[in-house]
């Protein structure tokens, strides 16, 4: 049984339909890139998985239907989200932000600080005083503290300096090689996405138009659907 399964998923914002049939399957420990041009439905797909928007069609985690469950239940089932725009508690310290998210498992303050040593150095600082890159590391650290089975990152390197982006990609490579967490990634950097992902799923106008092993994703497909 797959870890995550979306089958012909549809979703609407009020009267405006955004997803028209998303198919996506993920196995444990697998890294999947969710790709497509702006406005094609990537963030909406993530919101549907996390039950932040109503949807119809197949949506299950470990074979359990997620429809009808509130977001916090989906989080407790093992879905950790690093949302677009970070969203840490600005007035809490790094340590407090991490502890607030903690659930039992291998990820603890210590292991998060091993992955992102800068967070350890700033553990007593309020989140608001961190740089953009450090806030992003904190957002990833918070999601890891929930000890997820599926980690979702929506544009985690957006707007960051190249050197900080590299630190985040290095951390993702480490998660891939050293842990069994499955990762669903949305990012604009095709080169980095291709290097770290096992699979790709491409959306066009709210529908899956291509999916398969990253190694089989040819230039013709990326030119056509991702605009490179």
Can you tell me which of 27, 28, 39, 72 binds ligand ATP, judged by CB under 6 A? Answer: 39
CA angle 222, 189, 79 (to 5 degrees): 100
Q: Does 51 bind ligand ATP (CB under 6 A)?
A: no
Sheet holding 31-35, edge to edge: 64-65, 55-61, 4-13, 16-26, 207-213, 199-204, 31-35, 182-186, 150-154, 79-82
The residue (of 44 and 146) whose beta carbon lies closer to ligand ATP is 44
Interface stretch with ligand ATP, choices 36-44, 55-63, 74-82, 129-137 (CB under 6 A): 36-44
Instruction: Please name which of 82, 117, 112, 87 lies closest in space to residue 98, comparing C-alpha atoms.
Output: 112
The residue (of 44 and 136) whose beta carbon lies closer to ligand ATP is 44
Can you tell me which of 40, 61, 94, 175 binds ligand ATP, judged by CB under 6 A? Answer: 40
Q: Does 38 bind ligand ATP (CB under 6 A)?
A: yes
The residue (of 39 and 227) whose beta carbon lies closer to ligand ATP is 39
DSSP class of residue 93 equals B
Instruction: Please name which of 103, 53, 58 lies closest in space to residue 80, comparing C-alpha atoms.
Output: 103
Interface ranges with ligand ATP (CB under 6 A)? 13, 16, 18, 36, 38-44
């Amino acid at each position: 049984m797959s870890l995550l399964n979306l089958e012909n998923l549809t979703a609407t914002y009020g009267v405006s339909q955004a997803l028209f049939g998303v198919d996506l399957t993920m196995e444990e420990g697998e890294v999947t890139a969710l790709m497509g041009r702006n406005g094609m439905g990537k963030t909406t797909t993530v919101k549907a998985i996390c039950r932040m928007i109503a949807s119809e069609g197949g949506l299950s985690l470990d074979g359990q239907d997620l429809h009808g469950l509130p977001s916090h239940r989906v989080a407790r089932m093992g879905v950790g989200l690093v949302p677009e725009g970070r969203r840490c508690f600005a007035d809490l310290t790094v340590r407090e932000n991490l502890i607030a998210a903690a659930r039992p498992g291998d990820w603890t303050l210590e292991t998060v600080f091993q992955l992102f040593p800068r967070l350890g150095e700033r553990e007593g600082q309020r989140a608001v005083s961190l740089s953009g890159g450090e806030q992003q590391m904190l957002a990833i650290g918070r999601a890891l503290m929930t000890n997820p089975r599926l980690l979702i990152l929506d544009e985690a390197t957006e707007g960051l300096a190249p050197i900080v982006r590299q630190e985040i990609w290095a951390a993702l490579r480490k998660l891939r090689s050293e842990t069994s967490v499955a990762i669903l990634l949305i990012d604009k950097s095709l080169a980095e996405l291709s290097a770290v992902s096992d699979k790709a799923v491409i959306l066009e106008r709210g529908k899956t138009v291509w999916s398969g092993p990253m190694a089989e994703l040819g230039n013709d497909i990326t030119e056509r659907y991702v605009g490179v």
